[in-house]
Structure formats: C-alpha cells, structure tokens
Chains A and B, each alone.
Chain A
Amino acid sequence: MSKIWVFSDMASRYPELLAAAASLGGDVNALVIGTDSAKAFSYGATTVTQLPADESRMIEDYVPTIAKCVTASGTPAVVLISATKRGKAVAAKLGIALNAGVINDASSVKGGDGVTATHMVFGGLAVGTETVKSAVAVITMGSGAFEPLPEDAARKGDVVTADFVPPPVSIKCLERRAKQNSSSVDIGKARRIVSIGRGLKAQEDLAMVRDLASALDAEVGCSRPIAEGENWLERERYVGVTGVQVKADLYVALGISGQIQHMVGANGAKTIFAVNKDKNAPIFQYADFGLVGDIYKVVPAMTALLRK
C-alpha cells in the first residue's frame, strides 16, 4: 500500500486534496506549514506533519524538508499537491529530489500498479492518460477534480513535527505584494454563469452583461482575451483549458467564438446557451440553444424579459 502525502500552498485546497488522497486508499499524511492541524484532520488526514513556519521563507524552500519526510517513511509513495503556480514549482523540484515522475493538472488520479492520472493536452483537444513508474509519484491536482469529504471536527490523528532542511540554493524574496485586479471569485463552483467574449466592444459595455447576470442570479465569466489581453475582467473569471473549468447548470456564452481551448472549460456545464452574430461560429456546435444575433440587441432584451 502506498504512503499518501498531501501538500498545498493554499489552505483552502486541502479539503479536495484530502478527498483525492482518500480515494487512493490507506493512511493520509497532510504536510502543513505551521501548527494548525485541526482542519486537515476534520477533512480526512490520519497524520499531520507540521513544517516550521517562517515568513521569510519561500514555499519552494520546503522541498528538501518534504523530500526528507517522504524518503524517511518509505515507498511506494504518492505526493498530491494543489495545481497552483507554486504547487507546480514544488512538484517539479520534488520530482528531481525524489527521482519521482510528475504529472500536473490532473483531472483524475487512480492507484494500482503505478499511479495513473489524466490531464488535458493539445489545448484541450484531447486527454492524456499517464502512468508513473517510479517508486514515488508526484501529482498536482486541478481544482474541482474531487469533492471534499464531509467535515468532521471530531476526527483526530497523530501530529508529527519536521525539522526544516535548508535548500542548497535559495532565491531571495525582496518583496511580496497583493496582485492588482485579482479577485477571490470561484466560478468553478458557480451554478450559473454568463460569459462574455471578444464580441464585447468596450469595457463599459460590461454593464449590460452584469445586468443579465444579475437577472439570472449568475456569475460573470469570460474568454481568455477579455481577461488577459484586454484586462477588462479578473483572470479568475476566464474559462478554458488554462483558465477555469466550470461545472455550472447553466452557461450563457455571449460573443464567444467557441475555440476548443475555451470550450473544454465550458463543456462541463449542464446546459449551454449561446448568442453570436456569426451563424458559422463553432460555439453553436457545442450549444444546446443558440441564437444568431447581435449581443447589443439581444442581451438587454433578454434582461428585460427575465425581469418581467
């Protein structure tokens, strides 16, 4: 039976990581920075290994410490990490430190003779299924791949503390500041989404999109160019292979052409509505209900009808 470890640079990601770990069977050891173990136990950890907190350290500096813990408790072992930007840096560094195979952005993970995980390739055109052959497997889990287990505050377990092992080469962090134009919205969990693409001519016109979203009690989403090229909406709102993969009941795509890289993020929605002025837009191949028309005319009319 493999030893299962979980680690995240974001506390909010532990519940789903612990659920992924539980699906692999066996005892689950949560590596946490600091001394707060209760949350990890309540979501299914059987052991918590506390790593000494120190604000001046970078998350990546913990790699030798984690590697030492994993090595000391033996193989086979699986390390599940949240697929955040730092998580991926930690995963690759562990890959070398532990001579382990690494798979990023896993949408599923299975045990057995080697750990097998799936992730999107070719911009979402296909899913790659890979198996780790090395004694240790390091997998970063995409957000939303697993439902957290029900929280149970009564659960307890063993607490272990690990000594910090300094990294051989270290990078100096001169400054850390909050990112501008970022938000904590999680449209991956939204039930309804109104999503806007480059059919929008100006940032001010977002008002009509927000109106429709509010009439539908929906979150606002978008295509990558609206968030990354235009910077009209926060990065957290763009849907697609490199953005958020939604699981909504309703996805309303406005002025979005429907490129595969976008649609792999939207396809998880139960019902897709689309408005596009080009009747040949690929989005209509992926939609349940489509209207060929101008969003500047259709969107305000839809809002008015829904408010009636």
Chain B
Amino acid sequence: MNIVACFKLVPEEQDIIVNGDRTLNLEKATPKISLYDLNAVEAATELAAAMPDSKVSALSVGGKILENSKARKDILSRGPDALYAVIDPALESALPRETAAALAAAVGKIGSYDLIICGEGSGDLYAQQVGLLLGSLLSVPVINEVSKITAGDGKVTVERTLETEVEVLEVPLPAVVCVTADINTPKIPSMKAILAAGKKPITVWSVTDIGASTGGAPVVMQSILAPAQADRKKVIVEGDSDDKVAAFVESLRKVL
C-alpha cells in the first residue's frame, strides 16, 4: 500500500512569549512536529508494517520552518521512507484552504497513492479542516475522527468515534482519513531509527514546482491575540491544617 502521512511543523508552545500588547512572539520557539500529526505518522507506519510492499511518504507544506534539519530527521526517524517538503514564502502563514491546495498538488507530483492520513488538527491553528479539504479537492472519499484503520483489498475499514456513537465505515481507496489523538500511542524512535533517518531521501519543491496556485484565499487572519487575563483575587494559603481548611471553606460558603 502506498501511504502518504501529512504533518505540520509548529512552534513549541512552551517557548511562545506573550508580548505586552497581547500579540505572540514566536521567534524563540523551536519547530516541532505538531502533536496530533504524530498519530497520523504512527498510523501510517503501523498500517504499512501490516501490509507487504508498502511505502510511507511524509509530506508537509509550509514556510521556512521546514528547512529545520532536526525536525526533518525527527519525522523520518518515526518510520516514513521518504520526506517531501513544499517550501515557499507563499505558504508561510497559509490557512487551511491554501495548505490543502498545496498538499493536493504535491500529492499529484508524488504520483499514485492509496491512502492519505492526516491528524485531527494542528497544535497552532487547530482548524481541523486540512485533511477534509484535501480529500474533497482530490475528489476521493474523506472522513474525520477515525480511531481505528484495518486494511482490506482496495478499501479500508475504519471506526469513527463521534460524540455519542461509533460508526464502522467501509472506505474505498484511494481515500483520505483524519485520525484521532487516541488511535495509537506514537512510539519514541529508537537509536537505530534515528541513525537510519539521516539516509532517507528528502525532496524539496517550491509552489511553482508542484504547479499549485496560492492566490484568492477565502479566509484572512486578522489578528492573533492573547485574551485579557481575568482578574483573580489570588488569595493563596499554604498548608492544610484544620483551621486553614476551615478558612478556605468559609470563603467557599460566601460564593454559594
């Protein structure tokens, strides 16, 4: 089976600084693989391991962040056989529609595929759209919230976990699925896998190379601002002796 696992590199949240004017400073934040995309990559690798003659290609589109060699090695150490990166200033802060269009063009350039796997949403924008848009743009079956994948002949059978129901679906290939965060537990790469990652092929394209158009974005981001902090009293008492607990409960009674 020919599998493409899509991922995004995002800034490490712990390193993000909130400026005085509530804008975010991302300059000091190191790139990392978006948390839930690790599940997509793991799902692809597990599926490939269960099917003879399978190949997993990792694919990402974005700006300069994709030049980061540590992150590239990180993704390849998690099982994919090859990495395809579309790096272009036009994709620097692309929103879902532009991202999906670039991914669709890149998939076309990679060639044939059976299954494309995406995560539930990225750690930065968490738009939860890209995989669904990608499948629709490619005019193939696409479904989200997939919590289990079983490969079949020319199809996959998936479980889809919704708010109160689970659906078991038969999805003809080629297709796109978006997996949930609890479909698997991503493995920590072994030393051997990390060493092998350095030898795997990396292909870099620009938007022109893949023949994607980037104009006419249907949505524009106006601002990203940290919310004003709610004013809290911050009356903190140290110690859990009886009188301190009693005083704590007294404060509690006052708001009941």
Contact = CB atoms under 8 A, between A and B. Distances in A.
A61 to B, nearest CB: 11
A294 B227 contact: no
A103 B218 CA distance: 10
- Of all A-B residue pairs in the complex, the 6 with the closest CB atoms, nearest first, are A293-B240, A101-B218, A92-B132, A96-B136, A101-B219, A134-B218
28 contacts: A89-B132, A89-B143, A92-B132, A95-B129, A95-B136, A97-B136, A104-B128, A116-B222, A130-B219, A133-B217, A169-B140, A169-B172, A171-B170, A172-B170, A174-B168, A177-B165, A177-B168, A279-B236, A284-B234, A286-B230, A286-B232, A289-B248, A289-B251, A291-B236, A291-B237, A291-B245, A292-B240, A301-B240
Nearest to A174: B168
Given A103-B219, A292-B237, A171 B133 contact: no
Given A125-B18, A129-B221, A169-B139, A92 B165 contact: no
Interface stretch (A18-26, A28-36, A38-46, A267-275): A267-275
A200 B182 CA distance: 21
A75 interface: no
Interface residues on B, range: 35 or more
B2 interface: no
A95 B245 contact: no
A32 to B, nearest CB: 19
A73 interface: no
A242 B180 CA distance: 12
Contact of A127 (B225, B249, B253): B225
Contacts of A298: 240, 245, 248
A201 interface: no
Contact of A121 (B124, B141, B161, B240): B124
A251 B239 CA distance: 21
Nearest to A299: B245
Given A122-B16, A273-B248, A293-B240, A99 B218 contact: yes
B171 interface: yes
Interface string B91-135: 000011100000000000000000000000001111111001100
Contact of A305 (B127, B161, B246): B246
A170 B133 CA distance: 16
A287 interface: yes
Nearest to A264: B227
A126 B227 CA distance: 6
A173 interface: yes
A161 interface: no
B218 A100 contact: yes
A116 to B, nearest CB: 7
A150 interface: no
B252 A289 contact: yes
Given A89-B132, A271-B255, 16 more contacts: A84-B163, A88-B144, A92-B136, A104-B127, A122-B123, A123-B123, A127-B225, A128-B224, A129-B225, A169-B140, A169-B172, A177-B165, A279-B236, A292-B237, A293-B240, A298-B248
Contact of B255 (A131, A242, A249): A249
Given A89-B144, A130-B221, A290-B235, A120 B161 contact: no
A88 B170 CA distance: 20
A79 interface: no
A226 interface: no
Interface in B13-58: 13, 16, 18, 22, 24
B204 interface: no
B242 interface: yes
B169 interface: yes
Given A228-B182, A301-B242, A88 B126 contact: no
A190 interface: no
Contacts of A149: none
Contacts of A287: 232, 234, 236
B81 interface: no
A123 B167 contact: no
A131 B239 CA distance: 49
A63 B108 CA distance: 25
A175 B136 contact: no
Given A168-B139, A175-B167, A228-B182, A291 B129 contact: no
B244 interface: yes
A85 B136 CA distance: 17
Interface string A72-111: 0000000000001110110111011101111111000000
Interface in A227-273: 228, 236, 241-242, 249-250, 252, 260, 264, 267, 270-273
A130 B129 CA distance: 15
A100 B246 CA distance: 57
A85 B163 contact: yes
Contacts of B249: 302, 305-306
Interface centre among A95, A184, A242, A273 (most CB of B within 10 A): A95
A288 B232 contact: yes
Nearest to B160: A85
Given A122-B16, A171-B171, A292-B239, A92 B129 contact: yes
A130 B222 contact: yes
Contacts of A170: 141
